Amino acid sequence: MNLLILGGSGFVSGTLARLALARGHAVWTVTRGQRPPLAGTTALPADRHDPAAFRQAIRSAHATWDLAVDCIAFSPADARQDLAELPGLAAQLVFISTDFVYHPAQRRFPQPEAPAVFLEDGYGGLKRQAELVLSQAENPGMAWTVLRPCHIYGPGSLLGCLPAHGRDPRLIQRLRAGEPLELVGGGHFLQQPLLAGDLAETILSLAGNPAAAGQTFNVAGPEMVESREYYRLVAEILGVALEVRELPVDAFRAAHPEAASFLCHRIYDLSRLAASGASVPSTPLRAGLQAQVDALLADALGADA
């Protein structure tokens, strides 16, 4: 398969590129060229916010792709660019959205793709507007699928899934030092952390799948756990105890309104994804966190060498 990744040097896009290469696929990546390209990929350097440069980059490849995956779209303008530039070059598009499209105060448990109440502004609102560009296109010119992943973790990223320790670069050091973690609501919000490798498997499984065309799917991990259980597992892997200091939800939300989408239960109905025949994430949370902790510790040893 020929695969085009918009992105390729980031956490999710890099994980996808490495898995695709391991499966024997040919991979092209579109990035700004600020990091060295992943070995084995064909780099197409361009800033997507420069429309002419983006157009030139993908046409300079003189290739067509079975699947294009947009890992870096954040706005309806980005989705319109996909529809303008990719038909005729890519047979299919997978658009990576987010579970933050759902209104945090009006969710169902578990949350299906529809019916749903969506955000209209901020990061989640922009992603939702981008989804609508695709779903309302009369003649998109290619098959498309939208994925709404929840919290993504795994090697290549920092640990932490909840304020005030989300993507905390010092989380391992804090736990080893016996420092209490300050978790909003005591960490009792439910989550389904999604291993990046499992998300990459789901993406690749959509290629050539007619049941996925024109569809939107939730993507989440196999376990529904309290956020504090995530941190407890990390502590267990490190061989230390977890101590939690609760931050009041209302006070934190008032001081950090931008964090509202983190301060709710994030659990999802995956039945539509399963019914499509796509790969449904299955890696146990502890196994995924073990791999992530191992990778971070190895990186730390390398930095100290």
Q: What is the pLDDT of residues 79-125, one digit of tens each?
A: 999 999 999 999 999 999 999 999 999 999 999 999 999 999 999 99
For 144-157, how does the pLDDT look when each residue is reduced to its tens digit (9 = 90+)? 999 999 999 999 99
| Distance (Å, whole) CA 157 – CA 155 | 6
**What does pTM read for this prediction?**
0.97
Can you tell me which residue has the tokens 């989550």?
Answer: 191
pLDDT at residue number 80:
98
Domains located in the chain, CATH noted: 73-304 (3.40.50.720)
CB contact at 8 A, 5 and 29: yes
Instruction: Tell me which DSSP letter residue 26 carries.
Output: E
Displacement of CA 103 from its chain's centroid (Å): 18
State mean pLDDT over 222-242: 98
CB contact at 8 A, 186 and 229: no
| Distance (Å, whole) CA 190 – CA 264 | 8
